[in-house]
Structure formats: structure tokens, C-alpha cells
């Protein structure tokens, strides 16, 4: 267990790191961030911040020397960067990143644990792509095996004719058949070093352009009927990885049961509601888990919860939300540029009106 005043290092400078840092500060820890130069909004919540590239091993070593524990806020931290950080400082273990960064490894990993995935095939050439479309059919989606999130590095294919106009992008990809589903939902858990696991309630999630825009509780009868099966897969995943911290698995709720979509070895956008809506937020429980503190409760505190992302230029009028009914809790991330499709903040509304 880390002592009060110990230092937590966070790799990545985005809003997840910002909210994680705020939770760590509340618990009496110091926080140091590390990310390549840019609009690193987490820096305002850190005691110190290294704005250096992932390949700068001397800077990474200097950063690590100041930390008692190191974690990350997004899954695209290069594994090579972690080699400059002593393994005993890292939580979760980098093996989780190694799987989550490769969509093929990720699917095979969860399938071995009993999960159902959409039909898929590896694509390394135009010929591979044509064969995958012929075997799996359309509609489907072509994704790069590595990198890409919030809809980036993805090409939706509506028909075989449309597939003929899509060229292999020159790096390993995966082609997935589209899943007929009623809604999407996420399972977010926290696991400590002793193996204790706690789950937050699963929200029903809405995506636009591959990016989450809306999460609600209750999630509906279909999701509620499939949560136990999805949680079993998530627990098995955490145990197989000997995972420490917050872990998220996303699923499609289909008529035949939950279908695995992807894994995020970190705190997650669909868990932002836990700041106001749960006994302990995902950010605080992640900090508790990686520092050896007792886990907090994950129970939901309200009958209804609605979380929406604030995207792009919506941030310019976001303060108007504070005058609306429904107890809005506004979180703006302090980003300088309101680009189209960029997450600028979120608002959570909570209510005990069950109607």
C-alpha cells in the first residue's frame, strides 16, 4: 500500500488522465503526467508534467524515477515506451496493453475465455480483403489491427459492390461482419491485487461515427438479461491477465446473447457517470486498486442516470446546460480547440424519479 504523499505517474495527457489525477489528488497523492507535446489537458491537474515523446527513453526514465506507481489513461501507449519504466512500478501489467493494442490478439484471447465475437478475418492485402468479404459477407467493417479509436482507422462496407472500391490501406487489418444488435453496453470492473472484483452497473450506450455519445441507466431489460454472462467474460479476462485497476469490455446485446466488441484496459467514457452516480467513481477506484488501498463500493446511487458527451463546438454554449432542469453535472475538459468530433466534455444528469 502506498503512503499518503506518494507519487502516481500517468501516461497520457487527455481527459481520462485529468479525471484520474483529480481523484488521486483527493486521496492525498501527488501526480506526474507524461505525454508527447500537445493539448495535454491533464497537465492542469498534475503537480508536474513531462511533455516528451514516447521514444525519449531518458525522459521516460526520469519520469519513472519520480514515481511510486505508474499507470496509463489510454491504450495506445507504445509498449516500447514502457520498457524504460521498471515493471514493478506499472499497474496494470503491460500484458493487457499488448493484447488490447492488437484486435486479432484481443478477439482470440476472449474467444479462448468463452466469449462470442462477430465473424472476422485477417486482412493483409487486397486479395485477403476480397476473400474476407466473400466469406463473411456484407455489411461489415474494415479496421486496422493496431491504433484507431473513436471511429478512426475504420471503414464501413455496406455492400459487396462498395467493397470493390475500398483499397487495402497498407497495414494489417481485420474485417468484421456487422452484428444485428438491439443496443450496445459496457461492463466496467475494478480488480485489486488480491483478486477482489467489483462491477459497476452496465449502461446502454449509443455511438455515432464510432464514438460514444450517450450512456443511460437503467439499460433496459435485454441488457439486464445479458449482464451476468458478459460479467463472467469480463471477470475471466481480468483474472487471466492478473489485472489490477479498472478494465472495460464492450458488448453488443443481440437476440442470441452478448457479443464481444472490444476491450479497454483503462477507465472508460461510458463510466463517466460514476463520478456523481456511483458510491465510488471509476477514477477513484482505479487509483485505489493500483495503490493498494481498499476498493470502494460500486453501487449506483440514483434510479436514473443520463450521461452525454459534449462534442466539438457544442462546448461553446455548454454553460447553458447549468440552467436546465434535471440536476445537470457539467464537466468541461479545458481543451483549447473545439474540432468536429472532438470530445470537449460531458454532462451527467441523475434522478431518483423511476418513472
pLDDT in tens, 229-240: 999 999 999 999
Question: In whole angstroms, what is the distance from residue 141 CA to residue 127 CA?
Answer: 16
Distance of CA 309 to the CA centre of its chain: 14
- Check residue 150 and give its pLDDT: 54
7-90 and 119-177 agree in CATH topology: no
- Check residue 148 and give its pLDDT: 60
pLDDT in tens, 331-355: 999 999 999 999 999 999 999 986 6
pLDDT in tens, 253-293: 999 999 999 999 999 999 999 999 999 999 999 999 999 99
Question: In whole angstroms, what is the distance from residue 70 CA to residue 6 CA?
Answer: 11
Question: In whole angstroms, what is the distance from residue 274 CA to residue 217 CA?
Answer: 11
% of residues, the chain, pLDDT over 90: 86
- Check residue 69 and give its pLDDT: 98
Per domain, the residue ranges of the chain are 7-90, 119-177, 183-301
Is the per-residue pLDDT at 73 higher than 70? yes
CATH number of the domain located at residue range(s) 7-90 in this protein: 3.40.50.20
pLDDT in tens, 87-137: 999 999 999 999 999 999 999 999 999 999 999 999 999 899 889 999 999
Is this model's pTM higher than 0.85 or not? yes
DSSP annotation of 139:
S
Query: Mean pLDDT across the chain, nearest whole number?
Result: 94
CATH number of the domain located at residue range(s) 119-177 in this protein: 3.30.1490.20
Q: What is the homologous superfamily of the domain 183-301 according to CATH?
A: ATP-grasp fold, B domain (3.30.470.20)
Q: Do residues 186 and 282 lie in contact, with contact meaning Cβ atoms separated by under 8 Å?
A: no
Residues 6+ apart with CB under 8 A from 308: 213, 214, 346, 347
Amino acid at each position: 500500500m502506498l503512503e499518503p504523499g506518494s507519487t502516481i505517474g500517468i501516461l497520457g495527457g487527455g481527459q481520462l488522465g485529468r479525471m484520474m489525477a483529480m481523484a488521486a489528488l483527493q486521496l492525498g497523492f501527488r501526480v506526474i503526467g507524461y505525454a508527447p507535446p500537445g493539448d495535454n489537458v491533464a497537465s492542469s491537474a498534475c503537480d508536474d508534467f513531462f511533455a516528451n515523446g514516447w521514444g525519449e527513453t531518458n525522459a521516460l526514465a526520469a519520469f519513472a524515477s519520480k514515481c511510486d506507481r505508474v499507470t496509463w489513461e489510454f491504450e495506445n501507449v507504445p509498449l516500447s515506451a514502457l520498457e524504460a519504466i521498471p515493471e514493478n512500478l506499472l499497474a496494470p501489467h503491460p500484458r493487457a496493453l499488448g493484447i488490447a493494442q492488437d484486435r486479432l490478439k484481443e478477439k482470440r484471447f476472449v474467444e479462448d475465455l468463452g466469449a462470442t465475437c462477430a465473424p472476422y478475418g485477417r486482412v493483409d492485402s487486397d486479395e485477403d480483403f476480397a476473400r474476407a468479404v466473400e466469406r463473411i459477407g456484407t455489411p461489415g467493417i474494415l479496421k486496422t489491427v493496431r491504433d484507431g479509436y473513436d471511429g478512426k482507422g475504420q471503414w464501413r462496407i455496406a455492400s459487396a459492390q462498395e467493397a470493390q472500391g475500398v483499397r487495402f490501406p497498407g497495414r494489417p487489418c481485420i474485417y468484421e461482419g456487422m452484428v444485428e444488435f438491439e443496443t450496445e453496453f459496457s461492463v466496467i470492473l475494478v480488480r485489486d491485487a488480491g483478486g477482489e472484483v467489483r462491477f459497476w452497473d452496465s449502461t446502454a450506450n449509443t455511438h455515432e461515427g464510432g464514438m460514444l455519445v450517450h450512456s443511460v441507466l437503467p439499460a433496459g431489460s435485454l441488457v439486464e438479461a445479458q449482464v451476468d454472462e458478459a460479467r463472467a467474460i469480463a471477470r475471466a479476462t481480468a483474472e487471466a491477465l492478473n489485472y489490477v485497476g479498472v478494465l472495460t469490455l464492450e458488448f453488443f446485446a443481440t437476440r442470441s446473447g452478448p457479443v464481444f466488441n472490444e476491450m479497454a484496459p483503462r477507465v472508460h467514457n461510458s463510466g463517466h457517470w460514476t463520478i456523481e452516480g456511483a458510491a465510488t467513481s471509476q477514477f477513484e477506484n482505479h487509483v485505489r486498486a493500483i495503490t493498494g488501498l481498499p476498493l470502494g463500493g460500486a453501487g449506483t446511487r440514483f434510479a436514473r442516470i443520463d450521461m452525454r458527451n459534449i462534442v466539438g463546438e457544442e462546448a461553446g454554449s455548454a454553460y447553458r446546460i447549468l440552467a436546465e432542469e434535471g440536476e445537470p453535472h457539467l464537466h468541461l475538459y479545458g481543451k483549447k480547440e473545439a474540432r468536429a468530433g472532438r470530445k470537449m466534455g460531458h454532462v451527467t444528469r441523475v434522478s431518483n424519479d423511476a418513472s
